[in-house]
């Protein structure tokens, strides 16, 4: 059974059908990418699966559990994480504090006094934070205010905050957007580590085709809310419908 499955997932905004009968499966340990032109529904699909938006119709199962009526918090608790937007960073807290806050929030559904009183809960959070900062290569700036970070480090801090919720499946929406080539390489190597060392399953939305073809096991292509192609990178690269819809018929 696939780790994540959607069936005929549809999302309408007023008269606009942003998702139109999306049926996909993601296997445990895979890295799948979702590509498609601007406005094709990629972010909407992530928002529906992670519970930020309610689907108009269709099913979503994670590890056999129907998650359609669950809150984003409950979905996070099941093991679905996402790399948050910069807006979720607390600019005046340090890098370390940002990861700890996310980690505390996951350990307990409120900042319960009883929870915080326990020494071992703080130790667990601190250990997980250390491990995350090392993986994300932010240990050297752990004590700096988040707002002082260069752009690429801020984007990696978003990934760190996503990891703090201890996910098995992680959604990343355009993690390399706006990054320099060096920052992009660092992010690709981070994604490799998450798969190989952390055993994570990753669902990536990415506009940089070099990154997509390099890291993906499989690729889904969305066009106007519908999956128009799915397969291994070499199949997608040669798919005429993908070229037509996504690449304007140009050579990849
Ligand atoms: P992508 O991430 O592929 O660029 P989106 O999922 O953001 O595409 O958007 C798909 C379509 O849904 C677009 O036409 C967009 O304008 C519309 N849309 C997305 N979110 C909302 C929303 N919250 N309210 C209304 N329309 C939305
Ligand atoms: Mg988007």
**pLDDT over 90 (residue 16):** yes
pLDDT reported for residue 87: 64
Task: Give Cβ neighbours of residue 120 (< 8 Å, ≥ 6 apart).
Answer: none
CB atoms within 10 A of CB 227: 21
Number of folded domains that form the chain? 1
| Greater pLDDT, 238 or 54 | 54
pLDDT reported for residue 252: 44
Q: Which ligand is nearest to the CA of 36?
A: 1
Q: For residue range 98-140, what is the model confidence (pLDDT) as tens digits?
A: 999 988 877 655 455 555 566 777 888 899 999 999 999 999 9
Domain presence at residue 15: yes
Domain presence at residue 231: yes
Domain presence at residue 55: yes
Q: For residue range 207-236, what is the model confidence (pLDDT) as tens digits?
A: 899 999 999 999 999 999 999 999 999 999
Domain presence at residue 157: no
Domain that holds residue 12: 1-79+207-252
CA distance 185 to 125: 29
Domain presence at residue 245: yes
Domain presence at residue 84: no
| Greater pLDDT, 155 or 220 | 220
Atom number in ligand 1 closest to CA 11: 12
Whole-number Å distance, alpha carbon 31 to ligand 2 midpoint, is: 18
**pLDDT over 80 (residue 250):** no
Q: For residue range 50-71, what is the model confidence (pLDDT) as tens digits?
A: 999 999 999 999 999 999 999 9
Atom number in ligand 1 closest to CA 47: 6
CB atoms within 10 A of CB 166: 16
pTM of the model: 0.90
Q: Which of 187, 251, 240, 203 lies closest to 35 in space, CA to CA? A: 203
Q: For residue range 160-169, what is the model confidence (pLDDT) as tens digits?
A: 998 998 899 9
Domain presence at residue 186: no
Ligand 1: residue of 11, 17, 44, 48 to mutate (most ligand atoms within 8 A of CB) is: 44
pLDDT reported for residue 15: 93
pLDDT reported for residue 88: 76
**Domain CATH code at residue 25:** 3.40.50.300
For 33-51, letters b (16+ CB in 10 Å) and e give bbbbbeebbbbbbbbbbbb
Domain presence at residue 95: no
């Amino acid at each position: 059974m696939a780790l994540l499955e959607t069936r005929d997932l549809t999302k309408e905004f007023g008269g606009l059908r942003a998702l139109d009968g999306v049926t996909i499966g993601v296997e445990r340990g895979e890295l799948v990418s979702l590509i498609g032109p601007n406005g094709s529904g990629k972010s909407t699909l992530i928002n529906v699966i992670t519970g930020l938006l309610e689907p108009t119709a269709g099913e979503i199962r994670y590890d056999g559990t129907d998650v359609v009526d669950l809150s984003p918090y409950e979905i996070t608790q099941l093991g679905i994480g996402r790399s948050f937007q910069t807006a979720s960073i607390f600019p005046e807290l340090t890098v370390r504090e940002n990861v700890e806050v996310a980690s505390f929030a996951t350990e307990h559904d409120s900042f319960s006094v009883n929870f915080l009183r326990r020494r071992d809960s703080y130790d667990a959070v601190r250990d997980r934070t250390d491990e995350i900062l090392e993986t994300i290569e932010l240990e050297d700036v752990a004590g700096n205010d988040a707002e002082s970070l260069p752009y690429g480090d801020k984007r990696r801090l978003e990934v760190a905050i996503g990891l703090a919720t201890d996910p098995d499946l992680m959604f990343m929406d355009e993690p390399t957007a706006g990054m320099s080539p060096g920052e992009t390489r660092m992010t690709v190597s981070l994604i490799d580590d998450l798969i190989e060392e952390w055993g994570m399953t990753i669902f990536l939305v990415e506009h940089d085709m070099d990154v997509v073809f390099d890291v993906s096991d499989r690729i889904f292509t969305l066009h106007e809310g519908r999956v128009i192609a799915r397969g291994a990178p070499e199949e997608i690269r040669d798919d005429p419908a993908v070229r037509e819809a996504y690449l304007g018929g140009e050579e990849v």
